[in-house]
Amino acid sequence: MTASKTALPLAVLISGRGSNMLAIAQACAQGRIGARVVRVIADRDDAPGIQAARALGLATQVVSGSGIPKAQFEAQLAQTLDESAAELVALAGFMRILSPGFVEPRVGRLLNIHPSLLPRYRGLDTHRRALAAGDSEHGASVHYVTPELDAGPLICQGRLSVAAGQTEAELSARVHRLEHRIYPMVIGLIAAGRVRLTGAQVLLDGSALVTPLQVSETGDADGAPT
């Protein structure tokens, strides 16, 4: 995959399937966003996404987190990121909680996507919990990472209406499709210098983003603000 050499160098961290990583990599390769994936890093060598990234010719690395102390894992991860020269890091289904010591120096350069309309349903099993609560609306959130889990400043939310009788698998698939639109879109806005973080405040085009950008399942292509 190719992307402009002047594009923002991006690392993507995964633990599993990597469908968000692939959506981001595709947006970069097609020149839809001004970023380029300089490294895909998995914390397990059996992550299916790492094979998919290799197949696309992306630079990959496994930093295995199993059987070693967290501090050692994070030191190896930090070294890998430094070597990659990534200026932005996107967590995309990365199933490890990073310590404050790792996160704090990177605040503003570390993103996550979470499969719920935060602050609802931090943590795991978000689709099941939304269905159990009878929510009529559900979705995904892209946010800056801060030391508190799933609590960093929100940039964008993709929303959908929960259909009657929807199964967890169906809901998960719909949320994934939304994620594949909003995550590349947000990275594109950051790469273009339109979105950034100052303190705890997200700025869009220099003004405070009072509510996160909203993208609906039924809306147009990527929902980026004009």
Closer CB to ligand GRF, 20 or 157, in the complex: 20
**Least CB distance from residue 147 to ligand GRF, whole Å?**
17
Pairing of strands 88-91, 8-14: parallel
Closer CB to ligand GRF, 20 or 146, in the complex: 20
**Least CB distance from residue 170 to ligand GRF, whole Å?**
14
Residue 226 exposed, middle or buried by CB count within 10 Å (0-12, 13-18, 19+): exposed
| Contact residues: ligand GRF, CB under 6 A | 14, 16-20, 49, 92-93, 113-115, 140, 176, 179
61: left (phi over 0), alpha (psi -120 to 50) or beta: beta
Angle at 71 between CA 66 and CA 72, to 5 degrees: 60
Q: Which residue has the tokens 């603000």?
A: 225
Catalytic residues: 114
Residue nearest to ligand GRF (CB): 93
Closer CB to ligand GRF, 18 or 34, in the complex: 18
**Least CB distance from residue 205 to ligand GRF, whole Å?**
26
